[in-house]
Structure 1
């Protein structure tokens, strides 16, 4: 993550997320950003990725669904991230998946 920030790759990923040429590209950009912050507090500026990741948990594509769930698990390692995505509705959705 530090190298991505230093080389401005993270900024480029964020731009790709916002420009979203296709829905798939936006989804993959959100997954990349989320994974770069696994085990770290997700900066406020990137919390919009959570709105993209949440529906991916229900994707018919097993890779996308698994990747989104793994990304949420990585973000959940840090207490500061919980308030951004741990809501009663979201937890209920996750229980349905299991």
Structure 2
């Protein structure tokens, strides 16, 4: 067993060189992904802005509905009081 040890090259450690076509394809794919991300981010921001506007609109509508409700209550109270007075006068 006194033989000479040979160092064998393990092909799993060799990094293959990429051809120009492969490099261009990878760069193009990366550019496409980056553009898709930018567009998605832009759409997300637009949706967020619309959501904020929608929430503000809902708050404003709730305020207007509450104001109208209070006005209707006051109007009903006035009409009820007027009917009570008319009823009392007719007695």
Q: TM-score range by the shorter chain?
A: under 0.3
Q: Which has the higher contact order (CA 8 A, sep 6+)?
A: 1
TM superposition score normalised by structure 2: 0.21
| Between structures 1 and 2, the one with greater helix share | 2
